[in-house]
Structure 1
Amino acid sequence: MANSCDKASELFAVIQRIYSIFASSPQRWKILQDNISNLTLKSLSQTRWESRVESVKAIRFQAPQLRKALLQLSKNCGDHKIKSEAKCLATYELSNYEFLLGMIIWYDVLFAINIVSKSLQSYDMCIDDTIDQLNGLLCFFQEYRENGFEKALDCAKDLALEMNVKPKFHEKRIIKRNSRYDENVANETIKTPIQLFKTDYFLYVVDKAITSLKSRFEQFNEFKNIFGFLFSMEKLKSFDENTLKKHCLNLEKSLKHDDSLDIDGLDLFHELKLLRHILHLERDTIINILNYIKKFSFFFPNAYVAYRIMLTIPVTVASAERSFSKLKLLKNYLRSTMSQERLNGLAILSIEKQLVKEIDYEIFIKEFASKNARKVNFMS
């Protein structure tokens, strides 16, 4: 979204410049801390989504204090290059109404995306909750497209008045040319600067977000068409027998590979028809349904397999990324001669640390000591 629009790329470049000018010197960082008490400036990152919203947030809610810090830096700094850079950022960037408006729009966009992104990365996130959250995010952007620009304008005007900045767009000079006899000049409409900002910046970015959400997570809609009837017991009970049978046969067809079948559609239909009368609403979650079926997996083999396959569909690649992050922490430069077996063991212990905390080490220590006892009792 940011790279697709030149003005958006320029905004994030300015944010990085503001961070760099303070972070490159302890004396300059001290000036920043003297003027800012709450949020700290953050550097942009290509791999961490949260760094984007945190970097925008620090300027979004502290723009007057940041401009004051930049002006103070331009007066007290001995380096003429840094002095000129700080004065330019304070005078032409933070005092620019278009920059303030763009920053407010980007904070609203990134904040909504960041909440859903962090939620999808949780280890217990299921595909049904994922689809609901993505649909909710899509609805947010569609509503934001209709009403968000006017609200952002109001916030930008309040912020501009607080900073003594004129809430006005820079108007470009319109070059008039002589019209030809066959041109219909009366039908030509000239857009105002605010209309150009809305169409070329705001709508362009929001439409890019909506298009990306629809295309990137299109696979989840296919999963919903296949496994959707198993998402909740309430939904399972709402189907009549013909519809339920149709969904079961469709699931059998989707899980079929050559002549091998993971489930039998007709048997699954009869199992679910009985299961929806046995289960109560207090077990109306996928995990609880699977835990109940697990106790009687011999009687509901197809339902057990279907729910297990649905729950093992990965929502994100966050688990794989965490594994690579742990690998870098474990196998550092000082552990270059570590064997593969030891590395695998340490990685599993680090990744599954929640399970490791529940293990009683005394039992393993005693078992290890009994198997590796070197003293042998010959008297017996």
Structure 2
Amino acid sequence: MEHLHRAKQGENKGHHYLGKETQNEIIHLIGSNITNNILLVMKSAKYYSIILDCTPDISKVAVIVRFVQETRLDGVYDVRIREHFLGFLPVPDSSSSTLTQVVLKFLEDKKTLLCNIRGQGYDNGANMKGKKSDLQKRISDMNKRAFYVPCSSHSLNLVVNDAAMSSKYAVLMFSTSLYDFFSSSVRRWNVLKKYLPNLSLKPLSDRRWESRIDALTPLRFQIGAIYDALVQISEEFDDSKELATELELEDLTLPCVSISRRRSKKPIHFTYEGRDETIDDPAKRYKIEFYYYLLDIVTTCLDERFNELKYHCDYFDSLYDTSDLKNAAPPDSLDTKCRNLAAILQDHESSDIDALELREELKVLSTSLKPGIGPKETLKPIGGHRFCPNVNVALRILLTLPVTVASVETGFSKLE
């Protein structure tokens, strides 16, 4: 600090070590030291997950590792789930083969074993989550215990997107026509700001599902103010008349022609067929053509988008509440679950747990733990007293599996 103070005061007229090259070198050394410490803790935990996501311009891929850290300080045992950002990796393109090479090169440079990966977390892009030749499939072919878990946040975002595009009423409800109308003119926007000093119209975003809430909030609470702004714009200035004047067009008034359309009728081919009744009640039409239809789309999309997550829950469900196992029926269901879990945690001759030992350990724990305790709280007494090793390993793998790639999105925000 004294050296920096002297350099700032101009007393050190020689080398002050504050040039940009020196600063970059110091930052690089600090970053390398932090990364090495993270990798050291991760390797001591053994099992880890890798979380990736590409930047919007697809020039870099952000890398985050997730693992379970067990600490023992002053005789107190604690369990913490860690997610650490390790950096941005340059990628020439977003193909699955290129991303696979980048990941493998990164693990090799960091001297990290591929066989210890137990989870993969990516967004729902086709080049990452495909089941034939994409990134998660390539990694799974090298390590079958590297389970791919789709991002829950992205999956929910896709459900909302599908629901928003499910019917013409939903499309019109989330339309940006009002925002486009006001934002395309400075005068219109100033009029809108006069009537909406605290709120403003928002555009939609494909990446941010909450943007639809932001877009509807002014309409929900300030629809009268927006209407007043539209009235003032129509009374004070008419952009169409100004545009016509600039183009030297004549003021033509076309007569209003009333066109009556004949309602088309669906031909009836069988006697048991009936004609569709016309729905005149707006509330009933809204319920049938929009509300019920929207619920069907949401229910179907939830099943499709979260099917992969349900697959993992079916294997690990015996670990979510161990105390509830004593009430499980039939008795052989626990044996089946333990065998299934041991099967997916085995790769050739290497196995993470033993099914029979896991079953006996779970039976003991189910009678000694309080009800409603989650996996993390269950792991604390097991690790603190160093017993039930198979349950210990299974719980650490469960807690290692990624849930979302939101932490990678945070890295993008810091980059911007």
* TM-score (norm. length: structure 2): 0.50
**1:295 paired to 2:391:** no
**1:59 paired to 2:59:** no
Aligned ranges 1:1-380 → 2 under 5 Å: 1-13=163-175, 16-77=176-237, 79-80=239-240, 174-175=262-263, 187-193=274-280, 194=282, 197-239=286-328, 242-281=332-371, 284-297=373-386, 299-326=387-414, 328-329=415-416
Separation of aligned partners in 1, 2:307 and 2:267: 49
* Change over 3 Å in CA distance of 1:183–1:230 after alignment to 2: closer
SS at match of 2:210: helix
Separation of aligned partners in 2, 1:29 and 1:248: 63
Separation of aligned partners in 2, 1:179 and 1:313: 56
Shift of 1:54: 1.4
> Could you give the per-residue CA deviations for residues 262-290 of structure 1, whole angstroms, max 9, x where no partner exists?
10011112222222333334x81221112
More strand by share: 2
SS at match of 1:247: helix
* Change over 3 Å in CA distance of 1:80–1:237 after alignment to 2: same
The answer to whether the Cα contact below 8 Å between 1:22 and 1:29 also exists between their aligned partners in 2 is yes
> Could you give the per-residue CA deviations for residues 181-236 of structure 1, whole angstroms, max 9, x where no partner exists?
x8869942332244555444333222111100011001222222211111113323
The answer to whether the Cα contact below 8 Å between 2:352 and 2:393 also exists between their aligned partners in 1 is yes
> Could you give the per-residue CA deviations for residues 65-104 of structure 1, whole angstroms, max 9, x where no partner exists?
21111111222236337999xxxxxxxxxxxxxxxxxxxx
Separation of aligned partners in 1, 2:338 and 2:328: 12
Separation of aligned partners in 2, 1:31 and 1:189: 46
The size of the alignment, in residue pairs, is 236
* Change over 3 Å in CA distance of 1:12–1:277 after alignment to 2: closer
SS at match of 2:339: helix
The answer to whether the Cα contact below 8 Å between 2:201 and 2:218 also exists between their aligned partners in 1 is yes
* Change over 3 Å in CA distance of 1:216–1:242 after alignment to 2: same
Separation of aligned partners in 1, 2:195 and 2:309: 47
Separation of aligned partners in 1, 2:185 and 2:385: 66
Separation of aligned partners in 2, 1:185 and 1:249: 54
The answer to whether the Cα contact below 8 Å between 2:324 and 2:366 also exists between their aligned partners in 1 is no
Separation of aligned partners in 1, 2:218 and 2:301: 27
Separation of aligned partners in 1, 2:216 and 2:243: 23
Q: Residue 362 of structure 1 corresponds to which residue in structure 2?
A: none
Separation of aligned partners in 2, 1:291 and 1:219: 28
The answer to whether the Cα contact below 8 Å between 2:322 and 2:373 also exists between their aligned partners in 1 is yes
More helix by share: 1
Separation of aligned partners in 2, 1:17 and 1:253: 55
Q: Residue 368 of structure 1 corresponds to which residue in structure 2?
A: none
Q: Residue 43 of structure 2 corresponds to which residue in structure 1?
A: none
The answer to whether the Cα contact below 8 Å between 2:323 and 2:367 also exists between their aligned partners in 1 is no
- Tell me the amino acid that sits aligned with residue 238 of structure 1: N
What 5-or-longer segments of structure 2 have no aligned partner?
A: 1-162, 245-259
* Identity %, equivalent residues: 34
- What CA RMSD, in Å, does the superposition of the two structures yield over aligned residues? 3.3
What 5-or-longer segments of structure 1 have no aligned partner?
A: 85-171, 330-380
